[in-house]
Amino acid sequence: MMHILEDSVAQKYSQTALDHCDELAQVSELEEGILRQYLTSKHKAGNQLVEKWMQQEGLKTWQDQAGNQWGRLPCKDPDAPSLILGSHLDTVPNAGAYDGILGVMLGLELMKIAKANQLALPFHLDLVGFVDEEGTRFATTLIGSSAIAGSFNSQWLEVKDRDGVTMADAMQQFGLEPSEVINATLDPEKVLAYWEVHIEQGPVLEAKDLQVGVVTAIAGAKRAVISYTGITGHAGTSPMNLRKDSLAAIAELTLAIETIALNCTHQEVATVGKISAKPGATNVIAGYSEMTLDARAQNDQDLEVLLNKIVDKAKLIAEKRELLLTWKWTHQAEAVQCDQNIQDLLATACEENNLPVFHLASGAGHDGMAVAKICPIGMLFIRSPGGVSHHPSESVMKDDVTQALKVMYSALSSYAV
C-alpha cells in the first residue's frame, strides 16, 4: 500500500529543500556565482552545513574516507541493509543551485517525512552527498560514488589540479588520508538500492509538459577524434576537380552524422563539437582537418549500431574524395540500466499521485553509473525549465519539486511494514 502525501504538506517540505539549495549556493569559491570543488574549504563548509541540517533532524552523521557526507535514519534492526538516497554536492564553475544539490536536499526531506509519519521500514535510510561528480578540479568524474562502489582508481591520487596540487596532497590538506579511500567502499550485501532525484538538464519533460519522468538508463557514450588528410593547395590555382580538400570532407561527414542520428529511433544523439583545419588560411585548401565526435545511446547495442553507420559513412567519404581517414577513440562509458523493479515502483507512484507516467533516458552521466556496480539504481527526473543546467539561470518549478517528493514518498512507503 502506497501512502499519498497531501499537496499542502508536501509543499512545506519541498520549500525547505529549495531554501536549503539557496543557502548552499552561498557556499562558493566565487564572489559571484557558484563553484564548489573537491577538497576545497568550500567543500568542507558545504559538508558541514549539510551535516548540520541532518543533525537537526536527529540523523546520525559521518564523513567517509573520500569526503562524502552521510546521514542515517536507522530502522529497528541494526543489522539491516540500507536504502541509499542522494546525489552530489559539488558543482561546475558558475553553476546553478540545483544540479545534484536538490537530490540531496529532497532525500533529507523524504527522511523527515518518513520520520514524522513513523514509517516502519525494514532497512536503514542513508542519505549521501557525493563529492566530485562533475570532475571540475581533477578532470576525473564520479570520484565519491566510485569510492563507495570500490572502483576508486588509486592512480587518480597522482592527478594534479590547475595549480599543480595532486589529489593526494589535497586530501591531506583537507584532513583525509589517501591510503584510506579504499575503506569508503560499501559492502554490497549491506546496500539494497540507490535512489536519486535529479533535474533533467534537458528539454524533454518540458516539451511534453510533464513535471517528472522515470529514468530508464544512463546513456553510454563514446568519443572520437576523426581526421582526413588530403593535399594542401592554392585556393586560386587548384581546379575544383583536382582537389583533395580535407575540410570539405569534414563538413560532409558532420552533416551526415546529424542525419544518421536524426534517423535513429531510440533517443540516440551524436554531436560534432569541434572542427579544426590546417594550415587554416583563407586562400589555402586545407590539407588536414579533424573533428570531434560524441555519440550516446541508452544501451551499448544502440550505440554500436549508430557508430557503425557513422564509421561506414566516414570511410565512404574518404574513398570518394581520395583522402586518408584516421579514427582515434578517446573516451568510452558503458550505458547503465536503471533497475526495472525500481522503474516500475516509481511509475506506480506517479500513477498513485495522478501524474502521467513517462520514461526517459539520461543523456548526461550521474553518480548512479558508479553506484550500479554494487546495487540496483533508480532515478527520477524533475523538469528543467528551458532545459538549462550548468548555468546560473538553471531553475526548477516549485510544484514540480513537490510532485517529485510525493512520488518518492509514495514509492518509499510501499516498503512500510
Residue nearest to Zn ion (CB): 100
Given the rule CB under 5 A, which of 99-107, 155-163, 183-191, 335-343 is the region that contacts Zn ion? 99-107
Footprint on residues 183-202 left by Zn ion (CB under 5 A): none
46 binds Zn ion per the rule CB under 5 A = no
Given the rule CB under 5 A, which of 59-67, 100-108, 142-150, 351-359 is the region that contacts Zn ion? 100-108
Nearer to Zn ion (CB atom), residue 152 or residue 381: 381
252 binds Zn ion per the rule CB under 5 A = no
Minimal distance in Å, beta carbon 299 to Zn ion? 21
Torsion of CA 207, 209, 215, 216, to 10 degrees: -70
Spacing of C-alpha 389 from chain mean position: 11
99 binds Zn ion per the rule CB under 5 A = yes
C-alpha cell at 379: 532515478
Minimal distance in Å, beta carbon 362 to Zn ion? 10
Which strand (E) or helix (H) includes residue 126?
Answer: strand 124-130
Q: How many helices (H) and strands (E) does the chain have?
A: 11, 16
103 binds Zn ion per the rule CB under 5 A = no
Going by C-alpha positions, the residue among 306, 304, 296 that lies closest to residue 336 is 296
367 binds Zn ion per the rule CB under 5 A = no
How deeply is 319 buried, as exposed, middle or buried, from its count of CB atoms within 10 A (0-12, 13-18, 19+)?
exposed
Minimal distance in Å, beta carbon 217 to Zn ion? 16
Place of cell 592512480: 155
100 binds Zn ion per the rule CB under 5 A = yes
144 binds Zn ion per the rule CB under 5 A = no
Minimal distance in Å, beta carbon 302 to Zn ion? 23
Nearer to Zn ion (CB atom), residue 51 or residue 99: 99
| Measured CA angle at 223 (ends 218, 226), to 5 deg | 160
- Per-state percent for the chain, helix, strand, coil, to nearest 5: 40, 25, 40
Given the rule CB under 5 A, which of 13-21, 76-84, 97-105, 179-187 is the region that contacts Zn ion? 97-105
What is the size of the binding site for Zn ion (CB under 5 A)? 2
Nearer to Zn ion (CB atom), residue 100 or residue 202: 100
Distances (CA, A) of 354 to 14, 212, 273: 18, 12, 41
C-alpha cell at 301: 547495442
Minimal distance in Å, beta carbon 390 to Zn ion? 9
| Identity of the amino acid at 323 | L
Nearer to Zn ion (CB atom), residue 257 or residue 379: 379
Given the rule CB under 5 A, which of 94-102, 368-376, 391-399, 408-416 is the region that contacts Zn ion? 94-102
How deeply is 254 buried, as exposed, middle or buried, from its count of CB atoms within 10 A (0-12, 13-18, 19+)?
middle
Which positions lie near Zn ion, rule CB under 5 A? Answer: 99-100
